[in-house]
Every structure is written in C-alpha cells, then in structure tokens.
Amino acid sequence: MKKLLTALLALTLFISCSKDKETTTDFTAKNEQEIKDYIAKNSLTAKRSDSGLYYVISNPGTGANPTATSNVTVAYKGYFTNSSVFDQSSAAGIPFGLNQVIKGWTEGIQYFKPGGNGILLVPAHLGYGSFNYNGIPGGSVLIFDVKLISIN
C-alpha cells in the first residue's frame, strides 16, 4: 500500500510538472521577431513600449486619453501576421472596460484619444499567452486595427 501511494504521489508530481511546462511556454523571442518582420514587410513606423507592445498611431484623436479602468467604445479588426482575420466589430464598435480585456488592449488603447486610430501589435504574453482561445492558437501574435470611438 505504501508503494502504491508513493507511486501515485510521484505520478501526480510528474503530471503537475508536465502541465506547468506546457502552460508556461515562453514565446517572447519568437513573437518579437515575428512582429519586427511584420513591421518591416508592411513598412510601418511602430513604437515599442517597455512591456513589449508595439503600436502605430495613425491619428491620435482629440481630448483626454482613457485610463486603465475607463469604459470605452472601440471599433476593431483582429488578425494574425498572415492577415487572417479572427474577429471584427461593426463600425459602431463595442463598449467594454479596459480592465476587462487582454493586457495589450488595456495598455494600447490608452495611447489614443477619442476619434484616434492605429494598430496594436500584441505579443502572446500581452494576449492569451500559451493558451488556445476561441480559435486563436496559443503563442500567437495578435494585430488589431483599432479606432477609439469614445470614452463612456
């Protein structure tokens, strides 16, 4: 009985460690290169924040910038670096709290003022990490064309 319990404990630890490895894959270097390649291929002038988010401000907009806890309305199109679209709002946009979305949006939307638009290039650690989510493969770079319609 003691051997069986020891074996079960060892198996549990092995499975736990295996799951931890699986869910903590670091895509940082791969994502960084993928974003740089995309920027070069598309002749974008992008800025990089300290977090690793890249952004392009086509039009900054006017008025005040939202904060990390603001409720905003944003129109967007989300796609991968191969231009395959995975999500898109209507032109009227979608209202949400910036503290209720991926980190890349919480940070990135704050660079715009109402009426502003541009591009957010989001590495996996600021998106869905190494987890698959609604058809988005884990480790994916996410690109969003965004327009901040309003701060609500």
pLDDT tens sequence across 87-133 = 999 999 999 999 999 999 999 999 999 999 999 999 999 999 999 99
- Per-residue pLDDT band at 82 (split at 50, 70, 90): very high
Kindly state the helix (H) or strand (E) to which residue 47 belongs, with its residue range.
Answer: strand 47-48
- Residue 61 DSSP symbol: -
Query: Average pLDDT in the 21-37 region?
Result: 85
Is residue 125 left, alpha or beta, with left meaning phi > 0 and alpha meaning psi from -120 to 50? Answer: alpha
- The pLDDT value recorded for residue 130 is 93
Q: Please give the average per-residue pLDDT across 11-27, as a whole number.
A: 49
The pLDDT score that the predictor gives to residue 103 is: 98
State the DSSP string of 76-105.
Answer: EEEE-TT--EEEE--TT-EEEEGGGS-HHH
**Calpha distance 40→23 (Å, rounded):** 30
Taking a C-beta distance cutoff of 8 angstroms, is the pair 101, 120 a contact? no
Share of the chain above pLDDT 70, in %: 84
d(CA 40, CA 27): 20
Average pLDDT over residues 78-89: 98
pLDDT for res 24: 63
Q: What residue type is 134 in one-letter code?
A: N
